[in-house]
Amino acid sequence: MKQVTVTVPATSANLGPGFDCLGVAWQLYNRFCWRREPSGLSVTVRGEGAASIPADPDNLAVQAAERLFAHVGQRPSGLSLIQDNQIPAGSGLGSSATAVLGGLLGANGLLDNPLSQAELLALAAGLEGHADNVAPALHGGLTLVVGDEPAPRYLVECLPVADLTAVIILPEFELPTATARAVLPLQVPLGDAVFTLGRLGLLLPALATGDYARLAVAMADKLHQPYRLPLIPGMPAAFTAVRQAGAAAVALSGAGPGLLAFAPENHEMIGKAGQAAFAAVGLTSRVYQLAIDRQGSQVQWL
Ligand code: HSE
């Protein structure tokens, strides 16, 4: 294959109690256009994050492609990548998962698909460190992913989800995922585990049916959000503000710093309320209203 274009959706991992296993895909995309070339490597990055994303061998999509080439022991003599980003980088919307999948699916396509979806997911999860963004980015919709022996093997369940609209508020604040993971305890009290486990059970049917009353209870957790909220200036106040503006349920998008709120209506007011809370601590922010992507990653060949 000479040219392959991969379109990968944004995702929100965790959704409150689904830490490291639950995620949902959104209709906001990064696109990766790969071409075989006679020699060398050329990388162009456009759109969101273009100024900071490397346009050289350090580019994450290129590294993921190289990982697949090494895995199968074949590599085109030369390669070009044009990466068009709509997804803000470092926001908790899974932009790095899109790069990993953009690279793996592109490389797999250029080599006429030596790897299965399950093998691609295992490679992607290895590169990302966790699978809860890559699973929905690959399959679309709502997914639950569970690591299984013999590692690296993942069981993915594509779950029903209603046509929900999310308000996502992204403060201009840098919170590397490594920092947001470093504050988490290695052990949690049994009561906190039970609190979270019950809510994950409640969350799945609430998401399937769009039951806002249940979502309001179900999107809380005690495994990660209590430790992470204080890292983001204005975030506890933003949680309160969006609830007061009519959000039924609110959670961090992934590890943050994005905030995700579900509501039946008043999406614009909810966005403005969250922005005001961040503005009060001197942070500008952007608001997105996103619908669920149900297709997952799309690969086109020329
Ligand atoms: N589940 C991961 C975390 C997602 O919360 O650290 C990171 O996007």
Provide the residue-wise pLDDT of the chain in tens; the chain has 302 residues. 699 999 999 999 999 999 999 999 999 999 999 999 999 999 999 999 999 999 999 999 999 999 999 999 999 999 999 999 999 999 999 999 999 999 999 999 999 999 999 999 999 999 998 899 999 999 999 999 999 887 788 999 999 999 999 999 999 999 999 999 999 999 999 999 999 999 999 999 999 999 999 999 999 999 999 999 999 999 999 999 999 999 999 999 999 999 999 999 999 999 999 999 999 999 999 999 999 999 999 999 87
Q: Mind listing the pLDDT tens digit for each residue in 225-237?
A: 999 999 999 999 9
Mean pLDDT (the chain, rounded): 96
- Residue of 224, 231, 252 to test ligand 1 pocket, by largest number of atoms within 8 Å of CB: 224
Q: Dihedrals φ, ψ of 114, to 5°?
A: -70, -25
Provide the sign of the torsion angle of the four alpha carbons 61, 302, 84, 116, taken in this order: negative
Q: Mind listing the pLDDT tens digit for each residue in 44-66?
A: 999 999 999 999 999 999 999 99
- Residue of 14, 95, 145 to test ligand 1 pocket, by largest number of atoms within 8 Å of CB: 14
- pTM (two decimals): 0.96
* Cα separation, 18 vs 184, whole angstroms: 15
* Cα separation, 155 vs 130, whole angstroms: 13
Q: Identify whether 230 is preceded by a cis peptide bond (ω within 30 of 0).
A: no
Separation of 20 CA from ligand 1 center, angstroms? 6
Amino acid letter at 221?
D
Smallest CA separation from ligand 1 atom 5, residue: 255
Closest by Cα among 76, 74, 45 to 61 = 45
Smallest CA separation from ligand 1 atom 2, residue: 20
Closest by Cα among 128, 180, 127, 121 to 146 = 121
CA-CA distances (angstroms) from residue 148 to 66, 153, 156, 202, 270? Answer: 26, 5, 10, 24, 39
Residue 181 CA: nearest ligand 1 atom is 6
User: Which residues are near ligand 1 (CB < 6 Å)?
Assistant: 13-14, 19-20, 130, 132-133, 177, 180-181, 224, 254-255
